Every structure is written in C-alpha cells, then in structure tokens.
Amino acid sequence: MTTLRLDDRNQAVLLLQKQLNAQGAGLYLDGHYGEATTKAVQAFQRRAGLVSDGIAGPKTLAALAGQDTGHLLKQRDLERAAERLGVPLASVMAVNLVESKGEGFLANGRPVILFERHVMRERLLEHRYVLPGLASSEATAEALAARYPGLVNLRPGGYAGCAAEHQRLAQARQIHDSAGLESASWGLFQIMGYHWRRLGYASVQAFAHCMAESETQQLEAFVRFIEADQALHKALQGRRWAEFAKRYNGPAYAKNFYDVKLARAYAQFSNKEQAA
C-alpha cells in the first residue's frame, strides 16, 4: 500500500484529502500533500489513537477505510516508551520511523518475520541437538545442511519473503522448535528470537507469542532490547545518532545513512512538538 507524505502531488493524495474531508477536515482538494493535509492527517491519527507522525502510511489509510487497527502501534505506546527510556518523545518517534519496518504484521494477520538459515545452524549447535545415529551436534548440523540447505546453512540467504518466511519457519520448527523460533527476527523492529532470555521472556515460545499479539508487544521487546544494552541506551539518551545506529544496525549504518535519517527525523518531530 502507498505511503503518502509532505510534498507528494498525485491522485492518491487527492483521494486522501477526500477521505479526510469526510471526517470533517475541510481541506482544499488540490492533490498536494501540504502543511494543511499533514495537520489533518495528524488530527485524524490522534483521534484514531495511531502514531501521530503526519505520514499517511498503510496503517492510517487502513483506519480511514474503517479497518480494525486494534493490534497496531498507538501514540500512547510511544509516549510510555519515551518515559520509560528517559528520552524525548521525538527520539522514540524518530527511531520508530527509521528503524522499524513500518508494519509489524502481514495482511494475513501474522507477524512480520525473516528466517535466518545460518542462525538456525548456530542455534542447533547451541542446543547440542543430535540426530539418532549421528555422533555429535556438528555432524547433525552438517547432515541437516546437506538435506535442507534452505533451512540450515553456513551462509545467510535463501529468503522467500513475506508470508513464505512463515513456511520456512514452520519447517525449521519441525527440526527443532526452539532453534527455529530463535532463528527468526520478529515484528516492527526485527528482534532476533535468540535474545528472548536476555530480554526477560520465560521462553522463546513466550517471546514469539507476544510478537504475534500486537505491535505494542513488539515495541515492548524493542524497549527491553535497548534497556539490556547500556551503551545503546546511553547513545539514545544523548542523541548520539551515529553511535546508536552503529550499535543497532552494525558497521554498515553509514552506507545506509541511518544516523542522518535519525537526526533529521528527530529534528522534524521535535519541531512539531514545539509547534504543538
């Protein structure tokens, strides 16, 4: 689904303006996503309880169409996260805009995941899983990699995307349930399942259940992830975006301009807070 934002000019914006006017916005129908349209989107988002960022993404458009948004992230969730982490709301909104996948659930209602076959191999070794007739977990990993290279492998890859990732996960869980769940990244912020213990969940199954419940729970996992890494938490509190991006995204953060995007998003949301 299309995402519409400031300065867009097209028929989709015109349709958006008509939908907002049906909600009482009183916009001039010119097909231009200007400041007036941005403010009207924010006003609707606040009434709907959605994240009030002024961007008409799939969630906002779904709400305008009358679809159920009960499982989606709410503005109050970000406010609580900001208070808990001891940072301005603009910081949490910037991280949500730049670091999240935008949507935590697929159209079929399942959480967004990405199964990592190289992690599956590592987790099988970690669990010391041994197939009958084989001498060690290493021999088991090699045998499974030869038989199911799309599920167990030394190298990353083999992604199927979207709903098909759940098929890969289901197959991996037949090999070893916990290792399979631990080998997927989950939800809005793509938290790897193997972090479950460090984040305070009773089991990886409990973690996966929470990730399938709502985007609020997915944000909760992300907040726990930040709290569990003191250096990451301090970087966020100090708005040291390059350090935060490096610790969260890895050394390739600069190539993707994550730090620049975070700084710009923070400035954008901070200015909106001050204006409000």
Average pLDDT over residues 164-192: 97
Q: Beta partners for 113?
A: 186
Q: Which of 82-91, 121-130, 233-242, 247-256 shows the lowest mean pLDDT across its residues?
A: 247-256
pLDDT at 2: 80
Average per-residue pLDDT for the chain: 94
pLDDT per residue as tens digits for the range 30-74: 999 999 999 999 999 999 999 999 999 989 999 999 988 888 999
Q: How far is CA 96 from the centre of its chain?
A: 8
Average pLDDT over residues 255-270: 93
- Band (pLDDT 50/70/90 cuts) for residue 274 is low
Domain boundaries, the chain: 1-67
From CA 217, how far away is CA 213, in angstroms rounded? 7
Q: Beta partners for 111?
A: 105
**Whether pLDDT at 118 is above 80:** yes
**Whether pLDDT at 1 is above 90:** no
Domain 1-67, CATH 1.10.101.10 — does that match?
Answer: yes
Average pLDDT over residues 139-159: 97
Average pLDDT over residues 250-267: 93
From CA 178, how far away is CA 128, in angstroms rounded? 12
**Rg of the chain's alpha carbons, rounded to an integer?**
21
Nearest to 266 by CA among 102, 89, 101: 89
- Give yes or no for a contact between 112 and 187, defined as CB atoms under 8 angstroms apart: yes
pLDDT at 276: 59
- Band (pLDDT 50/70/90 cuts) for residue 275 is low
- Give yes or no for a contact between 215 and 187, defined as CB atoms under 8 angstroms apart: yes
